[in-house]
């Protein structure tokens, strides 16, 4: 198996592709285990291993994110890079492996990018303002099951950045929309909703994410299957908030 991998020493250096050959790739290996075995070999050979972010290895922490053959997290539907299995590839395949490409996600090293822009967007209002100790009984406000389910689906966003990587404009609309939609499902989330949506959208623009042109690439590549209908919700929330200004 041939691997064409993006190598870049640090954020200041110029990167380039390098090609590696790898034998004995077992079909039930995960994609990252394949990487582990390549790296073990490189270290033993005295070469520099490929840096990549990873942690839980079960598709929930959002650390991993590799552009594989032109698609974020590879070909499988609703799958993170760490969940991808080598049985999806053939022995004579050449796999092209790149980091996320987006102005707002600068490369740190090899396949590692800086996604702190996502944290900054959440810091700009992606929360419900309640201090510990100030809450009432959890059952005091009934929340319709439908709303709880929508909140669950949207809060299953793992912040991996695949939506941005998939988008030709490197837009973060799906990420922001998922959070806006999540928090819009609860009565206690309504109070600060106008302020929230304005601040988060402004922060997103400020950080250099592009605009949404409805290509739906984000939805197609989201490993958690977050729906683009959240973007419609975001737009409604945004317009309502702006009209109140």
Partner 1 sequence: MSKLNAKIPEGPLAEKWTNHKAKLRLVNPANRRKLDIIVVGTGLAGSSAASTLGELGYNVKVFCYQDSPRRAHSVAAQGGINAAKNYKNDNDSVYRLFYDMIKGGDFRAREANVYRAAEVSNLVIDHYTALGVPFARDYGGLIENRSFGGVQVSRTFYAKGQTGQQCLIGAYSALSRQIDKGTVTMYPRREMMDLVVIDGKARGIIVRNLVTGEIERHSAHAVVLATGGYGTIYYLSTLALNSNGSAAWRAHKRGALFANPSFVQIHPTSIPVLNDHQCKLTLMSESLRNDGRVWVPKTKGDPRKPNEIPEDERDYYLERRYPAFGNLVPRDVASRAAKERCDAGYGVGPTGLSVYLDFRDAIQKKGRKYIEENYGNLFEMYEKITGESPYEVPMRIYPAGHYTMGGLWVDYNLMTTIPGLYAIGEANFSDHGANRLGASSLMQTSGDGYFILPYTIADYLADEIKTPKIPTNTPEFDAAEKEVKERIERLMAINGTETATSFHKRLGKIMWDYCGMVRNEEGLKKALTLLDELKDEFWKNLKVPDTASELNQELEKANRVADFLELGKLMVYDALNRKESCGAHFREESQTETGEAKRDDENYSYVAAWEFTGDGKEPILHKEELKFEYVKLQERSYK
Does 55 bind partner 1 (CB under 8 A)? Our answer is: yes
For residue 110, give the nearest of 13, 213, 240, 207 by alpha carbon: 13
Interface residue with partner 1 among 75, 94, 116, 229 (CB under 8 A) is 116
Does 13 bind partner 1 (CB under 8 A)? Our answer is: no
Does 138 bind partner 1 (CB under 8 A)? Our answer is: yes
Rounded distance between C-alpha atoms, residue 204 and residue 227, angstroms = 19
Shortest separation between residue 38's beta carbon and partner 1, angstroms: 11
Rounded distance between C-alpha atoms, residue 33 and residue 85, angstroms = 9
Rounded distance between C-alpha atoms, residue 136 and residue 150, angstroms = 22
- Listed in sequence order, the DSSP H helices in the chain are 31-44, 116-123, 145-155, 162-166, 173-183, 187-190, 193-206, 217-221, 229-243
Considering CB under 8 A, how many residues would be counted as binding partner 1?
80
Does 48 bind partner 1 (CB under 8 A)? Our answer is: yes
Interface residue with partner 1 among 18, 114, 195, 206 (CB under 8 A) is 114
| Contact positions with partner 1 (CB under 8 A) in 194-223 | none
| Contact positions with partner 1 (CB under 8 A) in 94-113 | 108-109, 112
Does 69 bind partner 1 (CB under 8 A)? Our answer is: no
Does 125 bind partner 1 (CB under 8 A)? Our answer is: yes
């Amino acid at each position: 198996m041939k691997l064409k991998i993006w190598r870049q020493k640090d954020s200041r250096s110029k990167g380039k592709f390098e090609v590696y050959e790898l034998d004995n790739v077992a079909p039930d290996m995960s994609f990252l285990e394949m990487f582990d075995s390549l790296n073990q070999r490189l270290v033993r050979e005295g070469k520099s291993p490929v840096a990549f972010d990873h942690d839980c290895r079960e598709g929930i922490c959002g650390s991993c994110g590799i552009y594989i053959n032109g698609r974020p997290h590879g070909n499988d539907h609703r799958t993170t890079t760490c969940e991808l299995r080598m049985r999806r590839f053939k022995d004579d395949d050449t796999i092209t492996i790149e980091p996320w490409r987006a102005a707002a996600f600068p490369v740190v090293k090899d396949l590692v990018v800086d996604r702190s822009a996502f944290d900054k967007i959440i810091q700009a209002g992606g929360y419900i303002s309640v201090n510990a100790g100030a809450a009432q009984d959890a059952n005091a406000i009934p929340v319709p099951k439908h709303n709880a389910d929508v909140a669950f689906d949207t809060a299953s966003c793992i912040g991996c950045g695949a939506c941005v990587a998939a988008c030709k404009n490197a837009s973060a609309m799906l990420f922001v929309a998922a959070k806006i939609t999540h928090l819009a499902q609860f009565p206690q989330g309504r109070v600060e909703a106008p302020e929230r949506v304005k601040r988060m959208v402004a922060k997103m623009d400020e950080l250099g994410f592009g605009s949404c042109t409805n290509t739906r690439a984000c939805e197609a590549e989201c490993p958690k299957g977050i729906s683009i209908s959240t973007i419609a919700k975001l737009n409604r929330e945004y317009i309502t908030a702006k009209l109140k200004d």
